[in-house]
Amino acid sequence: MALEEGQNGGAEKVAVEVSFKSFKPQLFVEASKANDAVQFYKTAFGAVETCRTTQPKRKADQELPHIVSAQLQLAGSTFVVSGLSDDSASTKAGGTLFAMCLETEDLEAAVTKAVAAGAVAEGGIVEGEGACCCAERVTTVKDPYGFAWQFCSPADECGANVEA
Amino acid sequence: MALEEGQNGGAEKVAVEVSFKSFKPQLFVEASKANDAVQFYKTAFGAVETCRTTQPKRKADQELPHIVSAQLQLAGSTFVVSGLSDDSASTKAGGTLFAMCLETEDLEAAVTKAVAAGAVAEGGIVEGEGACCCAERVTTVKDPYGFAWQFCSPADECGANVEA
């Protein structure tokens, strides 16, 4: 994270170098319907699933594990379907039903730069929720136009638990 | 558009071949704030604008033309910021503040396949609105989970009116 003065007249301007590795829209779906939603995007648009993280089984034995996040590829881009549950980071993502995920090595710098530009940080960094599919650290900012952006640590180990 | 029977037991199943050229999330912002929003995404995330379509000036002479759609590149992906106005296709896109744009040569086939999978078509094909940035034909379906998907004709002439 590099801090320096802006060049174009604004002495107060903060220039932070942030590099983003990927950009993925994330759609939040009620957890019990997330499996169906993933199947729908495969059937309707030909999306291909490349990653899935699930919660451990809970409550009844016959209940399938809920999807935390499934990553889908479509027309050369990637998007994420996440199950909404009361205790997930998703629910804390500002109440919207979608967010934009930006993968970056430096979550703190990304938040600093976004906040300097007018975004509002929503809570701190959450560890180990897999919210953007396999990301280990996630944090959220809300932009001035009401959209949620999630900064996620890179997910290098993605690929397990994929259902064709 | 090819129609054939499904192979896996469902005699009623419709298999339609659809190829998507690109996939872009689209954020709808109040028209008077769309310029500011584009500037914010450049400043906060380092997005690069690659296309802009604007409405002709209207009302007062001093009023800047509103953005219909601006296309931005970020971390190897593309997204679109569109100004919301009463008479735009955006407003008709199911009342959500965002949509997913899928570029395709065959809008009709895309709608057929999506509807067969459970989506609901929202109105017909709209011509010449530039809703997905330079697309000449656009139509919208709502998926069973509340998300709007816009099928857009390919935008080969994009690139004019870009502001750095």
Residue-wise pLDDT for B3-16, tens only, equals 444 444 444 566 77
The three-state DSSP-derived secondary structure of A98-155 is: EEEEEEECCHHHHHHHHHHHCCEEEEEEEECCCCCCCCCEEEEEECCCCCEEEEECCC
pLDDT tens-digit readout, B22-39: 999 999 998 888 999 999
Q: ipTM score here?
A: 0.79
The more confidently predicted of residues B12 and A118 is A118
Closest CA in chain B for residue A147: B27
Q: What is the pLDDT of residues A22-56, one digit of tens each?
A: 999 999 998 888 999 999 999 999 999 998 888 77
**B51/B162 Cα distance (integer angstroms):** 5
pLDDT band at B135 (very low <50, low <70, confident <90, very high): confident
Pairwise CB contact (< 8 Å): A45 & B20: yes
Looking at beta carbons, which residues of chain B come within 8 Å of A41?
143
Position A79 scores a pLDDT of 94
Distance between A29 CA and the closest CA of chain B, angstroms: 7
Q: Identify the contact set of chain B against chain A, taking CB-CB distances under 8 A.
A: 18, 20-25, 27, 29, 33, 36-37, 40-41, 43-46, 74-79, 97-98, 100, 102-103, 113-114, 116-119, 143-147, 149
Beta strands in B55-147 (DSSP E): 67-74, 77-84, 98-104, 120-127, 137-142
Query: Cα dihedral sign for B24, B128, B164, A140?
Result: negative
Contact between B143 and B94 under an 8 Å Cβ cutoff? The reply is no
pLDDT digits (tens, 9 = 90+) for A120-135: 999 888 887 666 766 7
A contacts of B27 (beta carbons < 8 Å): 145, 147
In percent, the amount of chain A with pLDDT more than 70 equals 71
pLDDT greater than 90 at residue B143: yes
Give the pLDDT score at B130: 63
Output the pTM of the full model.
0.79
